[in-house]
Amino acid sequence: MPAKIIDGKAIAKKIREKIKTEVGSMKVKPGLAVIRVGDDPASIVYVNSKEKACLEAGFYSEKYELKEDIDESDLLKLINKLNKDKKIHGILIQLPLPAHISQHKVLEAVSPEKDVDGFNPVNFGRLLSGNKYLVPATPKGVVRLLDEIGVKIAGRNVVVIGRSNIVGKPVAVLLLERDATVTICHSKTKDLVEECKKADILISAVGKKGLVTKDIVKKDAVIIDVGITKSDGKLYGDVDFDNVKKIASWITPVPGGVGPMTIAMLLENTLFAKRKIEENK
Ligand code: GUN
DSSP labels, 33-58: EEEEES--HHHHHHHHHHHHHHHHTT
Note whether residue 239 is domain-resident.
yes
What burial letters (b/e) apply to 172-210, b meaning 16+ CB within 10 Å? bbbbeebebebbbbeeebeebeebbbebbbbbbbbbebe
- 229 shares a domain with 144: yes
The number of folded domains in the chain is: 2
Dist. CA 247 → ligand 1 center (Å) = 31
Look at strands 229-231 and 234-236 and give their pairing: antiparallel
Query: ∠117-96-86 over CA atoms, to 5°?
Result: 40
Note whether residue 213 is domain-resident.
yes
Note whether residue 247 is domain-resident.
yes
Tell me which residue range forms the domain holding 105: 26-111
- The CATH number assigned to the domain holding 147 equals 3.40.50.720
- pTM of the entire predicted model: 0.98
Measured CA to CA, the distance from residue 106 to residue 258 in angstroms comes to: 26
- The CATH number assigned to the domain holding 95 equals 3.40.50.10860
Per-residue pLDDT of the chain (281 residues), as tens digits, is: 899 999 999 999 999 999 999 999 999 999 999 999 999 999 999 999 999 999 999 999 999 999 999 999 999 999 999 999 999 999 999 999 999 999 999 999 999 999 999 999 999 999 999 999 999 999 999 999 999 999 999 999 999 999 999 999 999 999 999 999 999 999 999 999 999 999 999 999 999 999 999 999 999 999 999 999 999 999 999 999 999 999 999 999 999 999 999 999 999 999 999 999 999 98
Name the nearest CA neighbour of 250 among 222, 227, 226: 222
Dist. CA 222 → ligand 1 center (Å) = 24
Q: Using a 6 Å CB cutoff, which residues line ligand 1? A: 92-95, 117, 137-138, 166, 262
Set 50, 169, 218, 245: catalytic member? 50
